[in-house]
A and B are shown apart, each in its own frame.
Chain A
Amino acid sequence: MRRHQELAWRTAYVITGSTADAEDAAQEAFVKAYAALPRFRPGAAFKPWLLTIVANEARNRRRAAGRRANLALRVASQPTGAMPSPEAAAEATEQRQLLVQAIGRLAERDRDVIACRYLLGLSEAESADVLGVARGTVKSQLSRALRRLRTVLGEAPGQAGAEPAGAGGGGGER
């Protein structure tokens, strides 16, 4: 369940974009989960149940903060041994960094669904629990989010950076 702890926190982090809020949300979620354990349906999967609670707590905090969280994810530096050359490693890291920045420029809903599926590695069903939507909705939200991500990636980095709303103001259609 250590991975529950980590996953719970990361999920909260993705939603709130703040390590402090994520910690609060995850803590609160664990406390609530324990209190609710007796009501937990035996035989049900624990993870989605916990994640639902975490996501609710995190969303509450995001709402309370009243601003769009600026998710600051970083890319791990690639161990050079894993790649054919240091240059290739550096390039792979750079590509990932561009992708992370692009995700950061997405609207909240697009970013959330991409984070659930790819960054947190959740299944479609688990993502639906976290996002509080139907499973079918995850599919459609995801394809829309990917489309927008491609658009963002198509922009020149300078162009996107010069647009203040894109960097932190919740740009993108809602």
Chain B
Amino acid sequence: MTDEDLELALTDLGAHLAWPETPDLAAAVGLRLAGSPVPRPQAVPADLASRVRARIDDLAARRGRLGRWRPGWRAAAVAAVVLVLAITLAAMPGTREAIADLLGIGGVRITQGGGGSPPPPSTSRPSPAALGEGLGLGERVSLAEAEARTGRPVLVPGRLGPPDRVWLDQTIPGGAVTLIYRPRAGLPVSGQTGVGLMLTSFPGRLEREVLLKKLVGSGGRVTEVQVGAATGLWLEGAPHYLFYVAPDGTTRDASGRLAGNTLLWERDGLTLRLEAEVDAGTAVAIATSLR
């Protein structure tokens, strides 16, 4: 047998192996990631908790592994998985598949930072004048250009009027459009972005490859909020990171920066992310004024 034949045979073998089934790592990892602080129970619907308990019991029955855990873990695990499930329900169906990749369920994934000190914020804090420059938002375009190139109307919050700057990132499938508003009365400058408000929209159902992941630092809080007819998620209290996983499987952190208070919701097949140092009520009011 020549080297070449052997390599061919091995390649062929690689394609015909019956591997043992990959266990559901995601669920187990999700449970194990449950660190303190435990998310507030009222942040999630009650029925989810029972579903999750059932799931955990199921897991325990299947694996017989929970017995090894410290007792406190179970409560933490329930809360954490409830959190993830709540987010799933609230978030974009289109990305469920992507998130399923990580945790076996869809939507935006939010994990409590738990343990370890949060990394230092980006070294070069953007100046207020930059209006989104250096945040990895793509290229600067006009509103009309953004609409022409994405082939969809860009939703603008009526409460704020026309944006001060528009960015388009076409490396996100379908194109991510970001509107930037300068700091102004009621919109303080964000320590993370250097702008008053940032609103990003991208197709939620088309970008199943794009995973939107947030890591909430310890102390972060996630609550469900109503944005018009949609259920949104409000993340506040701690800076978090944002990751995209590109179709090629590489994880891209567009900016390496921390995000501040953030509202996530879905509308017209788009996933929207509003980031501003405002309270939840203001964020929702701005979000519902989109047209």
Contacts and interface: CB of A to CB of B under 8 A. Distances in A.
Contacts of B16: 75-76, 78, 93, 96
A40 B10 CA distance: 34
A1 interface: yes
Contacts of A120: 14
Interface string A1-40: 1111110111001000001000100110011001101111
B250 A10 contact: no
Contact of B249 (A3, A13, A78, A146): A3
Contact of B14 (A1, A27, A46, A119): A119
A123 interface: no
B6 A43 contact: no
B99 to A, nearest CB: 9
A64 interface: no
A42 interface: yes
- Main SS at interface, chain B: mixed
A31 B29 contact: yes
B9 A74 contact: no
Given A5-B101, A76-B17, A10 B215 contact: no
13 contacts: A1-B98, A4-B101, A6-B22, A31-B29, A34-B111, A38-B215, A42-B254, A96-B9, A96-B12, A99-B13, A100-B13, A149-B6, A153-B6
Interface of B: 1, 3, 6-7, 9-14, 16-20, 22-23, 25-26, 28-29, 32-33, 98, 100-102, 111, 115-116, 118-119, 211, 215, 241, 243, 245, 249-256
